[in-house]
Structure 1
Amino acid sequence: MSKQINPGLLPTSRRGILRGSMLAGAAAWAGGAALAGPAQAKRGALPRVPSLQKSGEAVPEAASPAVDLSGYTRVRQELVAPPFAPEHEQVATGGPKIVEITLETEERLLTIDEDTGAEIWALTYNGWVPGPLIVVHEGDMVELTIRNPVSSMMEHNIDFHASTGALGGGALTHVFPGEEAVLRWKATKPGCFTYHCAPGGAMIPYHVCHGMNGAVMVLPRDGLKDRDGNALSYDRIFYIGEQDFYLPVDEDGTYKTYAAAGDDYAESIEAMRSLTPTHSVFNGAVGALTGENALRANVGETVLMVHNQANRDSRPHLIGGHGNYVWESSFSDPPLTGMETWFVRGGSAVAVLYTFEQPGVYAYVNHNLIEAAILGATAHVVVEGAWNNELMEQVVAPRAF
């Protein structure tokens, strides 16, 4: 039974306006159809996916047969903060699994750039920008519990690009403050995929551009392979979420601040219309993956870099290294090899495999260098090990001539 939202939690000045705009926007996104189920009916005019049943109607057996889960083993995946990946098998053992995960929405004040004081009320999954990396295998079931705390200001949901039907699950996961929902979907396509919040209409870019997105990696059951079918493996994962932010500014160019999540809605929508981000950063903030927060590896280690961009195209490049193998989302297709720069289409995630051959500090950047050097899209990888002069050697140090 859906929990009735206390009207006192939804003052007209903020929550009522946001709820109304989300409902109207969601209806527009779904073509005016309404969303099914007693919870949605109780809460009002959310959009309906036409193929679903109205509240109280029996679902015809032929249209919705019971799913036989007898061959599945249940496991729980403990999600971890980016840039790390949850514990997982690279090659699946045993039969398919039901992988249980929990995402709790959190609206939190996030400092994007300490030097300028730029901050935003980030909309997040589990408190992180990006949301946590989820790793399963082809044929597994993902069983998600999504929870929206009663303290939240907004409705949230989740659209998995890796899933099939119901707007990627977005139509079945609308949760208001104080509600939770459970969604199960089958991972039928191997690859790396975006997930994001998609309440409807203008609220979709508003939520995505406030940090509410992440990635799912669906590994082939027999692991990664090159174009000839040879097995590929990795020693660690770097999970990088590239985030574009659009912060409203005062007349003097100072970034505006707001008392609570949602207060910036109208001004943020106006800023987003420019299609020009004020910040383009990795993992939520300028410097989130540099300095003391730099990624770390050793010479000879093979790293799988998973890069997600839920809204804009990106062109990552590892300065001093390469993409030995690059999968542009799909693991079903042979990987590209020897890439200097790879392409991330807006609303997708890619996987890149590289074995580090030299020690030192590598810069991992969006090779739109304006975004890397000025807007913040830079990470550092500190690699330990012995230098190989055969690969590179300083023959003469800088000197006057």
Structure 2
Amino acid sequence: MTKFINPGLKKTSRRNVLRGSVLAGAAALTGGAAIAARRGPQMTKANETSAKLYKAAAEVKVKSTASVADLSGYTRVKQELVAPPFAPEHEQVAKGGPKIVEITMDTTERLMVVDEDTGAEVWALTYNGSVPGPLIIVHEGDMVELTLRNPEDSQMEHNIDFHASTGALGGGGLTHVFPGEETVLRWKATKPGCFTYHCAPGGAMIPYHVTHGMNGAVMVLPRDGLKDKDGNALKYDKIAYIGEQDYYLPKDEDGEFKTYELAGDDYADSLDAMRTLTPTHSVFNGAVGALTGENALKFKVGETVLMIHNQANRDSRPHLIGGHGNFVWETSFSDAPMTGLETWFVRGGTAMASMYTFEQPGVYAYVNHNLIEAALLGATAHFVVEGDWNNDLMEQVVAPRPFAT
């Protein structure tokens, strides 16, 4: 029996894991002792808990040493990530053998307006500056090779946990980066489906980072593409990538949303708000109205759209008002899709996919069908569809008019 920090961890980087997650003490998990001290004993206590958890994980005894990954037969490609609600360029059916898909993400901390009407804002913790983080698309059997960079002006330490990956806390145990540091993680996409990724520094910092926007989705397509229950190929024309974000924004004694000078300054207040389990906002793609009005997604009658929905923290029930889920994969692409659903289910901490071919023009509202969250908290998007109306599907027989009593 031999003790290892992690059998997949390079010797040259063990120093950083020990420094960040085990030996540096509580404050290291927020990016420095000065930050934890400035933000009070509540943050320090949470970080002490985090340090103990990671120390325990690091001291687990394993029986085998790390083997060298066999990368023969893999072709290296770069994937240029794009901001939501859009998807990176990709093949629906894989061409050739497995690939090493190289991507880069920065853990950017930025002040974002959540609701212009109320002045609500948040120091969002993000991947590549967006809430949600960018959509990553690979095929089963591919390798994802991520360069994760934490800018020097960050206030906190960050990492990433891929629900699609295997081992080391989803990669979270191997990707802790302080401000000014970068790391490279490679993992194999062995399970087809849509999966959440999120930051997971440890302890109370996990929900704090996730509810400040630090989450996104990976889609792992089968190598031969999507299929129905009979094995027939299913193709989509476009992707609509929806990240549903629950925020817990602190308020002052007058009920106004509070503002903060730096990322992390709201930590203690946010923990109090989070403990209510009642979000102040439940929004799509980071803010109220992010996907409505001028920001609405645009499609055409006859186009097939794959809607990818991510919710890293709470259950959700998406519904396309005026449309349906022709094919819905709530769990895995390995399983046959459900068909003809009116509303589908997103388990908290998952991403899923639904496919629909538009048959009528008009404005479709895509909502969380907890309608309180849709109408009052912001969980609404609009799809504007162009084309010719089909009276065989729907017709206004008589326009509204007075009637005799």
Task: Report the counterpart of residue 252 of structure 2 in structure 1.
Answer: 250
Contact 1:300 1:357 in 2 (8 A): yes
Note the 1:206-221 alignment, pairs <5 A: 206-221=208-223
Q: Which residue of 79, 100, 120 corresponds with 2:102?
A: 100
Check if 1:24 corresponds to 2:48.
Answer: yes
Matched, 1:194 2:196: yes
Q: Which residue of 1 aligns with 2:7?
A: none
Deviation at 1:18, TM superposition (A): 9.1
Give the AA of the match of 1:197.
Answer: C
Deviation of 1:320 (Å): 0.1
1:139-193 per-residue CA deviation (whole Å, 9 max, x = no partner) reads 0000011000111000000000000000000000010111111100000000000
Select the residue among 362, 367, 381 that pairs with 1:379. Answer: 381
Q: CA deviation at 1:51?
A: 4.7
8 Å Cα contact 2:311/2:351 also seen in 1:
yes
Q: Aligned pair in 2 of structure 1 residues 25, 131: CA closer, same or farther (>3 Å)?
A: farther
For 2:323 and 2:367, locate their aligned partners in 1 and report how far apart those are by CA, in whole Å.
Answer: 12
Question: 2:56 aligns to what?
Answer: 33
User: Could you say which residue in structure 2 is the equivalent of 1:45?
Assistant: none
- Report the Cα distance in structure 2 between the residues aligned to 1:249 and 1:168, rounded to whole angstroms: 34
Task: Give the corresponding residue for 2:75.
Answer: 73
Deviation, 1:64, is 1.7
Rounded to whole Å, the distance in 1 between the matches of 2:174 and 2:368 is 35
Aligned mates of 1:73, 1:49 — CA distance in 2:
36
> Secondary structure in 1 aligned to 2:80?
coil
One-letter amino acid of the counterpart of residue 317, structure 2: R
Query: SS where residue 250 of structure 1 aligns?
Result: coil
Deviation at 1:27, TM superposition (A): 3.5
Q: Are the aligned partners of 2:346 and 2:352 in contact in 1 as well (CA < 8 Å)?
A: yes
Query: 1:288 Cα shift?
Result: 0.1
What displacement does 1:70 show? 1.2
Could you tell me how far apart the structure 2 residues matched to 1:362 and 1:272 are?
A: 32
1:162 aligns with 2:186: no
Match of 1:42 in 2: none
Aligned mate of 2:231, from 192, 205, 229: 229
Counterpart for residue 60 of structure 2: 50
Q: CA RMSD in A?
A: 2.1
C-alpha deviation, 1:325, in angstroms: 0.3
3-state DSSP of counterpart to 1:26: helix
Alignment of 1:2-401 (within 5 A): 10-11=34-35, 13-14=37-38, 20=44, 23-30=47-54, 32-34=55-57, 48=58, 50-51=60-61, 63-401=65-403
Distance 1:221 1:18, change over 3 A: farther
The 1:15–1:304 alpha-carbon spacing in structure 2 relative to 1, beyond 3 Å, is: same
Q: Which amino acid aligns with 1:188?
A: T
Asked if the contact 1:100/1:144 (under 8 Å) is kept, the reply is yes
Given that 1:19 and 1:154 are in contact with CA atoms closer than 8 Å, whether structure 2 keeps it comes out as no
1:287 aligns to what SS in structure 2?
coil
The alpha carbon displacement at 1:15 in A equals 7.3
Structure 2 counterpart of 1:323, which letter?
Answer: G
What's the offset of the Cα at 1:63? 2.8
- Relative distance call for 1:99 and 1:318 in structure 2 (3 A) is same
| 1:156 aligned partner, one-letter code | H
Question: Unaligned stretches of 5+ in structure 2?
Answer: 1-11, 21-27
8 Å contact from structure 2 (residues 43, 267) kept in 1: no
Change (3 A) 1:320 1:11: closer
Cα separation, 1, equivalents of 2:81 and 2:42: 30
Please state whether the residue corresponding to 2:173 is helix, strand or coil: helix
The residue type paired with residue 305 of structure 2 is V
1:252 CA displacement: 1.2
Q: TM-score, normalised by structure 2?
A: 0.90
**Aligned-partner Cα distance in 1 for 2:251–2:40:** 25
Given the superposition, is the C-alpha separation of residues 25 and 126 from structure 1 closer, same or farther in structure 2, using an over 3 Å criterion? Answer: farther
Write out the 4+ residue segments of structure 1 that deviate beyond 3 Å after TM superposition: 1-23, 27-30
How far, CA to CA, are the matches of 1:176 and 1:358 in structure 2? 50
Distance change >3 Å, CA 327–CA 90, structure 1 → 2: same
1:29 deviation in Å?
4.2
Distance in 2 between residues matched to 1:211 and 1:273, nearest whole Å: 17
User: Distance between the aligned counterparts of 1:233 and 1:330, measured in 2?
Assistant: 17
| Conservation of the 8 A alpha-carbon contact between 2:32 and 2:156 | no
Q: Tell me: CA distance 1:21–1:169, structure 2 relative to 1, closer, same or farther (3 Å).
A: farther
1:39 maps to none
Supply the AA of the counterpart residue of 2:362.
Answer: G
Residues 214/12 of structure 1: CA separation in 2 closer, same or farther (3 Å cut): closer
Could you give the per-residue CA deviations for residues 323-343 of structure 1, whole angstroms, max 9, x where no partner exists? 000001310000000000000
> 2: distance between equivalents of 1:114 and 1:332?
42
**1:202–1:389 distance in 2 versus 1, CA, 3 Å:** same
SS of residue matched to 1:258: coil
TM-superposition CA deviations, 1:196-221 (whole Å, max 9, x none): 00000000000000000000000000
Displacement, 1:24? 2.4
Deviations 1:108-139 (A, max 9, x none): 00000000000000000000000000000000
Report the alpha carbon displacement of residue 352 of structure 1 after superposing the two structures with TM.
Answer: 0.4
Distance (Å, rounded) in 2 between the aligned partners of 1:377 and 1:141? 34
Note the C-alpha offset of 1:68.
Answer: 1.1
Measure, in 2, the Cα distance between the counterparts of 1:8 and 1:343: 40
CA contact (8 A) 1:18 1:262 kept: no
Q: Secondary structure at the match of 1:270?
A: helix
CA apart distance, 1:270: 0.5
Question: Partners in 2 of 1:51 and 1:320 — Cα distance?
Answer: 55
